[in-house]
């Protein structure tokens, strides 16, 4: 019966979106004329250089470059709750890329979510954020992209079910959820805060992952930065709902952005690792501004709360006393035995280690998160910095441990190192992540 009502509801919603989309489409300009591919020398060198920085700021290559593919040539598969969408080719190839797009056509895509031919883009391309980007910055991005090597690469069509595969429906979605317009500074905030807001709410599109979505895939504005999902990972809350035992500060966020590690929280992993690598290319001023803005959502730093969290972490450490007790009495659980053999050599307090000491697990946002998803992903796939990048390393255990063993060790880690409630359905999630191919 529930499935029946969901189907009916889906049909009704699709019909409403389609009707709204038709009304809007009937009044809109269907296309912008093609142009001959512009010559690279026609663009200002300063614009190209600034565009290069802005493209990194937006992490554009992450979604527009397939694994092993040419940069920005598209084909990256982005899973969503509705189906798979593939990053488009944004090189200046005239047949499969944007080589025949005018600057006006490119700006319309960025600011309004409409392609050159007049069809609608899906919000997996975060135009609800890019609409905030200034005209000058969009111009610079266009200059950079149109001077990249043209790569002929046909990108697969979105794998979406009917009627979501009809792009016209997105006009109705825009009517309900899209608020076009450039960023407007808040006169009551500092220059650094406003610069950080411009980055986060615009090209950085931080809310696309860290804000929960409604059933139609739109950000729930009333719950900004309350936590979301990204490519099979949990994107933790950045506001007062943050699972971090020690509240994030501006200084800790700046360290997390560059070099991707914060002493009281841990290191970037999953999709955030690529973001942190890109952020390392930004200026110190921009990183400080971004950290200033994001930190404004977190509760005020409290020395008392930090001391309490550190004291609790000290009590739960896996150190010599824990190891001796287990040696004398044997492990209390299979999960503890797995932790002792596979994890404790690094996550062990005391003595000297010939490498970076990990953050105490009791302080980790991953261990204290509302979902075990990220811990399972890390246990399975480990943590390895992108090729050529610096960062901390953890080996993968997905091939060495069974699903049941991963469930057991994750359950033990949560119980031993966190004061939060036990996770539900850990085993079910392990199986789903394994089925989906790990991270």
- Judge whether 110 and 136 are in contact, CB under 8 Å: no
Per-residue pLDDT of 352-361, as tens digits, reads: 555 566 788 8
Q: What is the pLDDT of residue 320?
A: 60
**Residues 105-133, mean pLDDT to the nearest whole number:** 96
Can you give the residue ranges of every domain in the chain? 27-177, 318-435
Q: Which residue has the higher pLDDT, 150 or 246?
A: 150
Per-residue pLDDT of 167-210, as tens digits, reads: 988 999 999 999 999 999 999 999 999 999 999 999 999 999 99
pTM over 0.85: yes
Q: What is the pLDDT of residue 81?
A: 85
- Judge whether 127 and 113 are in contact, CB under 8 Å: yes
Query: Domain 318-435 belongs to what architecture?
Result: Orthogonal Bundle (1.10)
Residue 414 burial by CB count (10 A; 0-12/13-18/19+): exposed, middle or buried?
A: buried
Closest by CA to 205, choosing from 189, 190, 219, is: 219
How many CB atoms sit inside 10 A of residue 427's CB?
15
Closest by CA to 367, choosing from 314, 301, 439, 420, is: 420
Per-residue pLDDT of 70-112, as tens digits, reads: 999 999 999 888 899 999 999 999 999 999 999 999 999 999 9
């Amino acid at each position: 019966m529930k499935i029946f009502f969901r189907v009916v509801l889906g049909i009704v919603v699709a019909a409403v979106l389609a009707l709204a989309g038709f009304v809007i489409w009937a009044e809109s300009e269907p296309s912008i004329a093609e142009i001959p591919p512009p010559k690279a020398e026609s663009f200002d060198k300063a614009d190209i250089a600034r565009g290069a920085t802005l493209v990194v700021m937006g992490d554009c290559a992450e979604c527009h470059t397939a694994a092993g593919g040419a940069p920005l040539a598209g084909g990256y598969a982005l899973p969503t709750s509705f189906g798979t969408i593939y990053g488009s080719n944004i090189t200046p190839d005239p047949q499969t890329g944007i080589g025949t797009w005018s600057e006006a056509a490119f700006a319309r895509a960025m600011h309004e979510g409409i392609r050159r031919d007049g069809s609608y883009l899906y919000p997996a391309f975060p135009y609800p954020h890019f609409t905030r980007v200034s005209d000058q910055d969009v111009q610079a991005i266009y200059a950079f992209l149109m001077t990249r090597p043209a790569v002929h690469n046909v990108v697969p069509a979105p794998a979406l079910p009917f009627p979501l595969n009809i792009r016209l429906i997105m006009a109705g979605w825009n009517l309900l959820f899209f608020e076009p317009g450039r960023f407007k500074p808040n006169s009551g905030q500092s220059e650094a805060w406003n610069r950080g807001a411009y980055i986060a709410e615009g090209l950085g599109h931080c809310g696309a992952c860290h804000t929960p979505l409604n059933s139609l895939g739109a950000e729930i504005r009333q719950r900004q930065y309350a936590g979301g999902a990204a490519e099979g990972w949990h994107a933790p809350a950045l506001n007062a709902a943050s699972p971090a035992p020690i509240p994030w500060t501006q200084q800790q966020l700046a360290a997390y952005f560059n070099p991707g590690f914060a002493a009281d929280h841990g290191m970037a992993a999953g999709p955030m690792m690529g973001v942190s690598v890109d952020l390392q290319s930004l200026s110190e001023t921009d990183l400080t501004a971004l950290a200033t803005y994001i930190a404004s959502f977190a509760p005020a730093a409290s020395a008392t709360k930090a001391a309490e969290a550190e004291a609790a972490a000290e009590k739960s450490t896996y150190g010599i006393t824990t190891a001796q007790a287990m040696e004398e009495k044997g492990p209390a659980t299979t999960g503890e035995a797995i932790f002792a053999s596979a994890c404790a050599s690094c996550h062990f307090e005391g003595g000297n280690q010939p490498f970076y000491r990990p953050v105490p697990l009791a302080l980790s946002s991953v261990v204290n998160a509302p979902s075990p998803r990220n811990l399972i992903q890390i246990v399975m796939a480990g943590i390895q910095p992108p090729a050529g990048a610096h960062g901390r390393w953890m080996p993968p255990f997905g091939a060495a441990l069974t699903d049941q063993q991963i469930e057991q060790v994750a359950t033990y880690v949560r119980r031993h190192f966190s004061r939060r409630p036990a996770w539900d359905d850990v085993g079910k999630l392990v199986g789903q992540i394994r089925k989906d191919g790990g991270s």
